[in-house]
Amino acid sequence: METHTNTSAEPTGKRPPELVMRLARMGASFPTRLSFMRTVIRELHDNNWTIAPRTIELDANGYGHAVISAEGPDRTYSLIAYSHELDPDKRTDRVIAEAWDATFALFDGVPSAADIERLRGEVPRQEAGRCSPNELTLSRANKSVRLFAHVVDRLAAGQQPDIAFVASVGYLMRTTAVYGNGKFGIADRHKFAARPEVSAPFQAELLTVYLIRCFTHLLVEHVARARSPDTFTPLAPAIRRFLGIGNSTGLGMAPFMHSHPKLIHNWVNARETALARVRAIETATPQSVATFRKILARARQNNLEWNVEDIRQMERIKILRSEVEAISVHANDPNFATGNLPWDALYRHVEATASLEAQELIVALILEPHGDLIDDLVHTMSDDDTTAFNPTTSSSAFTDHVRDAYQWALEQDLSNPKSEPQFWYVSEEKLEPRLGERASEPGADKEMPLHVVRDVQAMMRDLENFAPDKILAEFLMAHPAHRHIAKRIQAVIGAPYGEVRDNLVGPDMLAIDLLRFKLAFFGATKFDPKSDRWTRITMYQGAPLPEELASPGADDWSFGTTPADLSS
């Protein structure tokens, strides 16, 4: 990529947290080139990784196991996949499931025959099993049964699958969990966090998903070939490239954001710094304009193919489509981006005239041509989680900080009981976060501490009546109930994007907004809400195939669209 000139190395014109960290805008997020799936693909491309099956021991129905290895310059990671016959009555994407079509572990290195046999008794049990620190992730997936069967039938008959049917689903399997960081005996993140290839957030987990995608392609072709070896034909590369991995995600993902405020700040700060750098570019180059127009056209088609049953989201998509049409007309004008600060002008135009969906989409689109300017920010998105609590700060200094940093929380009115009708709790059955209705459901006495607004206000009432010359430790000895919120507030000093600036138990709080925000940073697309509490998504749709990772255009796959030409 060519080099761009910006007005400062670290521009200060970032969007403020009071604008960015509101639920409505967070729930309109789109993946950008800083999203973690994009980082995985760039690592595989930049460092010449090779990905290939190492072991395939599957019967004619596709049951058995396979090992697919990703071999890099210094290390090898191997996906061990176990494919199972699943009773249709046990097929569910809910977290309460106890059986799946396929289960997976990402192995650190190349597994031995003994490793494969050891894990055969543990990985299919998922939460009920126990793994070792040699396993970095644990996952499971279910088939999209109708599409999988259709693809098998067509390939066995020597035909390609119906592209409209493929496009209506987008994946052969969808995962229901990808566990990491020490769960069920697998490796803690600190074991591998210093390795460059997996140091960015969620790289091991999302490498797992990419390898699962490779396995689904392998599996469907294996079954089709076994059914009719004489007439079998493999999937066209264009269709393989278009087939991503689905995912079903619910409330378990949302409290993660509350528990990791510095990490969330780092994610958002990287994106907002990237946006500020691009908006500070004084003059657009012909190459950046051409790239923007290409990505805009692809996003336009992607939006036309984005259809969901959720009425609220479908209305937003329809509005977005008309807004993208207007942006496209503007962007194809010969005078587009010829003035000073062109990308800033475009952003301001969209911000003033279009919906939140369009505003966040334009952020993703104007970042895309400027990888040379912003991709280094990926290395700022992790967090070592080592913030120390300082109990010796004066209560007056702490009070001043709260007034300054949490004015948004102090201003909210909680006097009406209807201002906090929901509560977060942990399910005793599955140890997963859930949402309850305070007025009608039991369990509010076991509420998770996600009600930052209430807790900040309660602490401030006691702080204002406490001696200002004493230290925070003395205040917390007198008022121990505030210890958790005091520690949180200290943890986010210098991390203004770490707090959601809304009431997380309020009447208008939709958990789906938190889910979309986090999933967009992962790189997810085609958000398909099934309620206001869970969604389906697509991952790696349009991403390069293993044999394409070395190609110059391997990083050019955002906003994947249905292939028109199956020959490529």
Check residues 242 and 491 and name the one with the higher pLDDT.
Answer: 242
pLDDT value at 296 more than 50: yes
Report yes or no: 234 and 561 within 8 Å, Cβ to Cβ: no
pLDDT value at 4 more than 60: no
**DSSP-derived 3-state class of residue 371:** helix
Lowest average pLDDT, out of 158-162, 285-289, 344-348, 413-417, goes to: 413-417
> What does the pLDDT look like over 19-70, one tens digit per residue?
999 999 999 999 999 999 999 999 999 999 999 999 999 999 999 999 999 9
Going by pLDDT thresholds of 50, 70 and 90, the confidence category of residue 5 is very low
**Domain boundaries of the chain, sorted by first residue:** 36-250
Compute the average pLDDT of residues 336-353: 95
CB atoms within 10 A of CB 259: 13
Q: How far apart are CA 144 and CA 324, in angstroms?
A: 31
Q: What is the pLDDT of residue 565?
A: 77
Using CA atoms, how far residue 248 sits from 161, 186, 430, in Å, is 24, 22, 16
- 414's CB contacts (< 8 A; 6+ apart) are 420, 453, 454, 457, 503
**Mean residue pLDDT across the chain:** 93
Going by pLDDT thresholds of 50, 70 and 90, the confidence category of residue 8 is very low
Lowest average pLDDT, out of 8-22, 259-273, 446-460, goes to: 8-22
Q: What is the pLDDT of residue 197?
A: 96
Q: How far apart are CA 300 and CA 328, in angstroms?
A: 8
pLDDT value at 149 more than 60: yes
Going by pLDDT thresholds of 50, 70 and 90, the confidence category of residue 95 is low
> What does the pLDDT look like over 436-472, one tens digit per residue?
899 888 888 888 988 999 999 999 999 999 998 999 9
> Maximum CA pair distance of the chain?
86
> What does the pLDDT look like over 467-525, one tens digit per residue?
989 999 999 999 999 999 999 999 888 899 999 999 999 999 999 999 999 999 999 99
Q: What is the pLDDT of residue 96?
A: 65
Which residue(s) pair with 141 in the sheet? 102, 175
Q: What is the pLDDT of residue 533?
A: 87
Q: What is the pLDDT of residue 6?
A: 40
Whole-prediction pTM = 0.94
Instruction: Show the 3-state SS of 184-232.
Output: HHCCCHHHCCCCHHHCCCCHHHHHHHHHHHHHHHHHHHHHHHHHCCCCC
Q: What is the pLDDT of residue 100?
A: 94
User: Considering the chain, what percentage of its residues have pLDDT values greater than 70?
Assistant: 96
pLDDT value at 434 more than 90: no
Q: How far apart are CA 489 and CA 511, in angstroms?
A: 23
Quickly tell me which residue has 């609590």 as its tokens. 389
pLDDT value at 7 more than 60: no
Q: How many residues does the chain have?
A: 568
Q: What is the pLDDT of residue 1?
A: 37
Compute the average pLDDT of residues 194-217: 96
Q: What is the pLDDT of residue 346?
A: 97
Q: What is the pLDDT of residue 10?
A: 47
- 319's CB contacts (< 8 A; 6+ apart) are 355, 357, 358
